[in-house]
Amino acid sequence: MTVHVSGCSSAAADQLVSREIRTESGQREVFCGLTGIVWLHRKIQDAFFLVVGSRTCAHLIQSAAGVMIFAEPRFGTAIMEEKDLAGLTDANDELDRVVTQLLARRPDIKLLFLVGSCPSEVIKLDLSRAALRLSQRFSPGVRILNYSGSGIETTFTQGEDACLASLVPELPVQADAKPSLLVVGSLADVVEDQFMRMFDALGVRNVAFFPPRKSTALPSVGPNTKILMAQPFLPDTVRALEERGAKRLAAPFPLGVEGTTGWLRAAADAFGVDPAQFDKVTAPNRARAERALAAFKNELGGRRIFFFPDSQLEIPLARFLSRELDMQLVEVATPYLHREQLAEELKLLPAGVAITEGQDVDDQLDRCRLARPDIVVCGLGLANPLEAEGITTKWSIELVFTPIQGYEQAADLAELFARPLVRRAKLVA
């Protein structure tokens, strides 16, 4: 377990506040990238995710889907057995057999992801070749792609990055020279629709969302495509899109009023929208969101919050809570810190805030207990034990599954943090 403290500055990010960042590598209490399947299979509605892994992977997905709310999920596991480890040729035959069996049973599948896991990566089962081989057999009806959601390579939300990056080569080439906007990262349908209306009102045309709801409606990409990141955990996807000629717009993430405004403004500026027009279009939404947020300022203002690393949403969330709700940031930990893509966010964080990249969970728990924050954001494994110690918690996974982006959700986001505090105050027994 190593800890070192380094200065953080990046030439690419202009005016980036130079700050100290603690880096930890010890036991991590974070889901692996396979968990992304739980929301991705609801987003891309004709896709199926087949984990090629162990019984542990199957058990993880089922436990992460928690109470098993989906009686008929569009994901499954090909559980490797002793004989699959013995010879890789056998494993490939077995995989072909399982995929054939699956597609025979599920003729509605248009896109099949073979998802690599820790064991399949360690034994070097080549899923990209398997995907190619199977694609040849099942095209054109079914497109078969692969990515890795293994815990040795990805953490929690990185699974979405790996999934989307694997889709990028499938995107058609943009045919015309008209500028287009590509919003990258899974958003709830309702949030997508709100943003679409907003772009429309601003006069920003040719807007597409990635991933799409249907795998048959993949957006096109080319040198005239501008990328607006909706989620902070997608560096590989963005890099792949940039290799296709697209340009990333520097922007904060659309959390809270300020973040949403900055995010929309980045698009508006890139598409030459008149600033006065921008203000006119966004002013009513901004005012409404601020009114809704005011109610939570009393509840949350001055409260001390501590983030365990989980979703990589921690930095934008901390920025929102500190700037719009006056919360005090005790420690903000994130599994990975993408200094360039988070540059706009880091500029807005208060100076001197304690940022941690990575985790050594026992040491971090010690710091947390010592600091006695008012509320802690953490994963499911830590929440109840902390509650038992009298520390109020918020499940970080809820922040991934709930629509929290945009003006209309700003107060909902604040409420997610207020509710545990309100609850603790209510309970007398």
Partner 1 sequence: MQLTVWTYEGPPHIGAMRVATGMEQLHYVLHAPQGDTYADLLFTMIERRNKRPPVTYTTFAARDLGKDTAELFMTAARNAYARFKPQAMIVGASCTGSLIQDDPGGLAKSLGFSIPVIPIDLPAYQRKENWGASETFYQLVRAIAGPKAPPPGTKRPDRPAGQRAKCNLLGPTALGFRHRDDVAEITRLLAQLGIDVNVVAPMGATPADLTRLGDADFNVVLYPEVASQVASWLQRIFHQPFTKTIPIGVSATREFVREVAGLAGVDPEPVLAVASTRLPWYSHSVDSTYLTNKRVFIFGDATHVIASARIASEELGFKVVGLGTYSREFGRDVREAAAKYGVEALITDDYLEVEAKVAELHPELVLGTQMERHIAKRLGVPCAVISAPVHVQDFPARYAPQMGFEGANVIFDTWVHPLMMGLEEHLLAMFKDDFEFKDGALPSHLGTGHAPASAPAVAEVAVALPQSAPVLDGAASEPAPTAPAPTGAVWAPEAEKELLKIPFFVRGKARRNTERFANENGVATITVETLYDAKAHFAR
- Enumerate binding residues for partner 1 (CB under 8 A): 1, 26-35, 52, 54-56, 58-60, 62-64, 66-68, 70-73, 75-82, 84-85, 91, 94-95, 97-98, 101-102, 105-106, 108, 118-119, 121-123, 150-153, 155, 362, 379-385, 387-388
Of 3, 406, 24, which Cα lies nearest the Cα of 193?
A: 406
Q: At 425, is the secondary structure helix, strand, or coil? A: helix
Query: Could you write out the three-class secondary structure of 128-166?
Result: HHHHHHHHHHHCCCCEEEEEECCCCCCECCHHHHHHHHH
Of 60, 62, 34, which Cα lies nearest the Cα of 49?
A: 34
CA–CA gap between residue 370 and residue 11 (Å, rounded)? 36
Instruction: Output the smallest distance, CB 197 to partner 1, in A.
Output: 29
Comparison of 134 and 241: residue with beta carbon closer to partner 1 = 134
Of 207, 226, 300, which Cα lies nearest the Cα of 256?
A: 300
Instruction: Output the smallest distance, CB 332 to partner 1, in A.
Output: 20
Please give the distance of CA 219 from its chain centroid, rounded to a whole number.
Answer: 20
Comparison of 39 and 196: residue with beta carbon closer to partner 1 = 39
CA–CA gap between residue 83 and residue 89 (Å, rounded)? 11
Instruction: Output the smallest distance, CB 137 to partner 1, in A.
Output: 17
Q: At 11, is the secondary structure helix, strand, or coil? A: coil
Instruction: Output the smallest distance, CB 335 to partner 1, in A.
Output: 9
Instruction: State how beta strands 19-25 and 2-8 pair.
Output: antiparallel
Comparison of 34 and 273: residue with beta carbon closer to partner 1 = 34
CA–CA gap between residue 423 and residue 297 (Å, rounded)? 17
CA–CA gap between residue 369 and residue 382 (Å, rounded)? 13
Tokens of 360: 């050594």
| Residue 50 and residue 113 in contact, taking contact as beta carbons nearer than 8 Å | yes
Instruction: Output the smallest distance, CB 278 to partner 1, in A.
Output: 42
Comparison of 23 and 62: residue with beta carbon closer to partner 1 = 62
In single-letter form, the type of residue at position 41 comes to H
| Residue 393 and residue 412 in contact, taking contact as beta carbons nearer than 8 Å | no
Comparison of 77 and 194: residue with beta carbon closer to partner 1 = 77
Comparison of 74 and 248: residue with beta carbon closer to partner 1 = 74
Instruction: Output the smallest distance, CB 391 to partner 1, in A.
Output: 12
Comparison of 52 and 145: residue with beta carbon closer to partner 1 = 52
Please give the distance of CA 184 from its chain centroid, rounded to a whole number.
Answer: 10
Q: At 312, is the secondary structure helix, strand, or coil? A: coil
Instruction: Output the smallest distance, CB 224 to partner 1, in A.
Output: 36
Instruction: Output the smallest distance, CB 84 to partner 1, in A.
Output: 6
Q: At 390, is the secondary structure helix, strand, or coil? A: coil
Alpha-carbon distance values, 13 to 331, 338, 353 (Å): 23, 11, 19
Comparison of 64 and 354: residue with beta carbon closer to partner 1 = 64
Comparison of 60 and 330: residue with beta carbon closer to partner 1 = 60
| Residue 213 and residue 257 in contact, taking contact as beta carbons nearer than 8 Å | no
Comparison of 78 and 292: residue with beta carbon closer to partner 1 = 78
